[in-house]
């Protein structure tokens, strides 16, 4: 019985390390490609600096994503007066939202929820316009 419990605990620890060890890992470009932010009440946090497109998920309502000019790439940019003047998108509960962050801007999370709110996000390949490689003539 003891060895069964020990192997279950060992398996869980290995899975947890594999999962949480990759959160916030830098990609080959040196840019974070995923992350998590936990807020406590009303707050504003920097998520990621563009150019990047992300999928964002929150289990609860009460949060929105917006862009602000990236000066420092920190929470300070999100609290600046120029913030929120750009694009904003509310995060519905239990839905994945695609959010695009242009170059020179930072994605910011604004939480209006009472209590804790957790945002999970990961980068997605940027959508590109179709390219015409050849055109046949008659």
CATH of the domain at 46: 2.60.120.810
138 lies in a domain? no
34 lies in a domain? yes
pLDDT greater than 60 at residue 106? yes
92 lies in a domain? yes
Confidence band for 127, pLDDT divided at 50, 70 and 90: low
Residue-level pLDDT at 128: 58
Domain hosting residue 112, numbered range: 30-124
Of the candidates 73, 77, 79, which has an alpha carbon nearest to the alpha carbon of residue 52?
Answer: 73
pLDDT tens digits along 79-101: 887 666 557 889 999 999 999 99
3-state helix, strand, coil in the chain (%, to 5): 20, 40, 40
3 lies in a domain? no
82 lies in a domain? yes
Residue-level pLDDT at 76: 93
Worst-scoring range by mean pLDDT, 16-20, 40-44, 117-121?
16-20
8 lies in a domain? no
24 lies in a domain? no
Of the candidates 43, 52, 38, 49, which has an alpha carbon nearest to the alpha carbon of residue 72?
Answer: 49
pTM, two decimal places: 0.66
Residue-level pLDDT at 25: 33
Residue-level pLDDT at 74: 93
Three-class secondary structure of residue 75 per DSSP: helix
Q: Is-contact 46 71, C-beta < 8 A?
A: no
Residue-level pLDDT at 13: 37
16 lies in a domain? no
Confidence band for 17, pLDDT divided at 50, 70 and 90: very low
Structure tokens at 67: 């862009």
pLDDT tens digits along 27-77: 334 457 999 999 888 889 999 999 999 999 998 888 999 999 999 999 999
The total number of structural domains in the chain stands at: 1
Structure tokens at 127: 């959508």
């Amino acid at each position: 019985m003891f060895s069964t419990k020990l192997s279950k605990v060992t398996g869980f620890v290995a899975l947890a390390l594999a999962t949480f060890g990759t959160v916030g890992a830098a990609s080959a470009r040196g840019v974070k490609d995923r992350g998590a932010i936990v807020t406590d009440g009303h707050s504003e946090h920097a998520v990621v600096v563009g150019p990047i497109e992300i999928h964002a998920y929150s289990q609860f309502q009460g949060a929105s994503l917006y862009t602000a000019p990236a000066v420092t790439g920190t929470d300070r940019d999100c609290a600046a007066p120029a913030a929120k003047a750009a694009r904003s998108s509310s995060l519905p509960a239990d839905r994945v939202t695609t959010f695009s962050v242009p170059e020179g801007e930072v994605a910011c999370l604004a939480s209006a929820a009472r209590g804790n709110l957790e945002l999970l996000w990961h980068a997605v390949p940027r959508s590109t316009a179709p390219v015409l490689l050849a055109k046949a003539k008659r």
